[in-house]
Amino acid sequence: MTAHDIPGQSALAELARTTARRCGVDLDAHAGDRGVSSPVNGEQLTSLSWTSADGVDAAVARAQEAFRVWRTVPAPARGALVKRLGELLAVHKDDVATLISLEVGKITSEARGEVQEMIDICDFAVGLSRQLYGRTMPSERPGHRLMETWHPLGVVGVVSAFNFPAAVWSWNTAVALVCGDPVVWKPSELAPLTALACQAILARAIAECDAPGDLSQVVVGGADVGQALVDHSGVALLSATGSTRMGRAVGPRVADRFGRSLLELGGNNAAVVGPSADLDLATRGIVFSAAGTAGQRCTTMRRLIVHSSVVEELADRLVSAYGRLPVGDPMAEGTLVGPLIHGGAYEAMQDALSRAAAEGGKLVAGGGRELADAAPNAYYARPALVRLPEQTAVVQRETFAPILYVLPYDDFDEAIALNNAVPQGLSSSVFTNDQAEAERFLSAEGSDCGIVNVNIGTSGAEIGGAFGGEKETGGGRESGSDAWRAYMRRATNTVNYSGELPLAQGVDFSV
C-alpha cells in the first residue's frame, strides 16, 4: 500500500506559518537566509535567521541571572510553572504535532504521541517537585546528625536531535525547571520551527507564573552554536542527544572544563525471539519497533535474533507485513511510514544494504525508494528486511534508516551473546513465554543494555522510567526514576547539637 498524494510546497508552507502563529510564533519576526525544508515533499517551508556563536554567551549570561532568582524559589512553586506548561501543551497538542510532522516527517499518531510524552513528563515533574528527597544517615558521633541535601545545579544546555525534536527537550526542561535550573536549548537545525513553538508556549507559561523570563531560551544555529554551548564554562550540565561520533567529541570537551555531561547516543537495538514466543504478538511489536518513524528512532529495532525453529515462519510473517505497510504523506490518514529526513539518510540506507549483500545478506522485503515521481525532492523508502547467516560487520554499525537484520540462533546463551556483541547498549527485548529465558535476559548475565524488555519491542519507552543506555550509548539517563539527580548538586551535611566536639574515627586533636 502506498499513499500517492504528497502536498505541494505552498500548502505546507502556509500550514507551517498558520500553525506556528497559533503557538505564538511570528515567523516574519524570525525571518532570515537559512532555509527550513520539509521531508514530506523536500521543499522549503520558510527561512529563518540563526543565532551566532557569540549569541550563546549572551544567552548563558541571561540564564545565569535567571538562575540566581529561580534557585531560591521553593521547588513546589517551581512545579507550578511546569504544571502550566503541561496545560498549555495539551491545548496546543495538535499544533506542535503538526510542526513535528512537517519538519521531521513523523506520522500524525507518532507526532501526537511525542507531544503527549511532553505532557506526561510535565505531570511527572510536578509530582517530583515535592519529592526531591535527601536522606539522613546515622552518625558515629553522639549528638550529631548526618544528612544529604540536594540543591539547584545551574544552567543546563540541551542539544537535541531531529528525530524527537520536542520530547527530548521536555524531558530535560521539565525536570531541570523543578530542580531549579534554567535551560538554553540548541535544537536540531532540521527542526527549528518546533523548537520556536515550544519556546513560545513555555514563555507564555513563564509570564503567567511571574517567573524569570530567561529561564528558557532557544539558540537556533549550526554546529558552531552547539560547540559554543558545549564549551561554555557557565553551562553546568550539557545534555546532548545524537550520534556516538558526536558524543566522542562532546564528552571530552565538557570534561576538560569539569562540567557535567548527559549523553544519549547511538543505538543498535535487538530483539530475541524464542521458540515459545507468541508470533502474532512478536510480529506486531517487531514491525512497530523496526518501521516506526521510518526507522529513525534511537530505539529502533535493527537486529532480530530468532531461534532457528521459528525463524522461517516469523520471517514470512514479516515479509507479508512489510509489503502491506502504507508509505506516504505522514499527515494522511492511514499512513504508517513517512519519509526519511533527507537524501543523505536514503543514501546511507542504500549503502548499508549494499554492504549487507556483500557480506552474504539477502534482501527479502523492501529497501527501495517510493513516490519519487510524486515527490522528487523527498525520500520515501519501504522498510527493508535482510536475512543474514551471522552478525557481520555492517550489523555492528547503526544505520539510521528502516533496515532490520534477521539472524538465527540455536542456544539461548548464543542469543544473549549476539544481543551484547555490538558497541552500543541502548534498548533490547525478548519475546518468550519461557519464564526462565525472560528472567535470564533481565539478569546481570543477560542483556547489557540500559532498557531491557520482555514481550514488547525495543521502542516506546514510558517517561516514568529512566531512559538511556550503556557502552557507546553514553551512559546518560533522562526522564523518570531518579534521573533528576543529574540536574542537582549534592551536599553532605553534619549538624552538631551536642555541645561537645568529638572527632570522627576517634581522632584525638586536643589542644
Cα-flanking dihedrals φ and ψ of residue 146, to 5°?
A: -115, 125
Domain boundaries, the chain: 50-265+474-490, 269-462
Do the Cβ atoms of 341 and 105 come closer than 8 Å? yes
* Domain 269-462 architecture: 3-Layer(aba) Sandwich (3.40)
Q: Which one, of 168, 268, 311, lies nearest residue 469 by Cα?
A: 268
The DSSP bridge pattern shows strands 403-409 and 301-307 to be parallel
Q: For residue 483, which amino acid is it?
A: A
291-326: pLDDT as tens digits: 999 999 999 999 999 999 999 999 999 999 999 999
Instruction: Summarize pLDDT for 366-401 with one digit per residue, the tens.
Output: 999 999 999 999 999 999 999 999 999 999 999 999
Superfamily name and number for 50-265+474-490? Aldehyde Dehydrogenase; Chain A, domain 1 (3.40.605.10)
**Cβ atoms 329, 40 nearer than 8 A:** yes
Asked whether 465 and 459 are in contact (CB, 8 A), the reply is no
Catalytic residue from among 103, 110, 189, 264: 264
Specify whether 370 is catalytic.
Answer: no
Among candidate residues 260, 252, 247, 165, the one with its CA nearest the CA of residue 424 = 247
Q: Is 148 helix (H, G, I), strand (E, B) or coil?
A: strand
Tens-binned pLDDT, residue by residue, of the chain (511 aa): 454 589 999 999 999 999 999 999 999 999 999 999 999 999 999 999 999 999 999 999 999 999 999 999 999 999 999 999 999 999 999 999 999 999 999 999 999 999 999 999 999 999 999 999 999 999 999 999 999 999 999 999 999 999 999 999 999 999 999 999 999 999 999 999 999 999 999 999 999 999 999 999 999 999 999 999 999 999 999 999 999 999 999 999 999 999 999 999 999 999 999 999 999 999 999 999 999 999 999 999 999 999 999 999 999 999 999 999 999 999 999 999 999 999 999 999 999 999 999 999 999 999 999 999 999 999 999 999 999 999 999 999 999 999 999 999 999 999 999 999 999 999 999 999 999 999 999 999 999 999 999 999 999 889 999 999 999 999 999 999 999 999 999 999 999 999 999 999 999 998 8
pTM across the whole model: 0.96
What is Dmax (Cα atoms) for the chain? 90
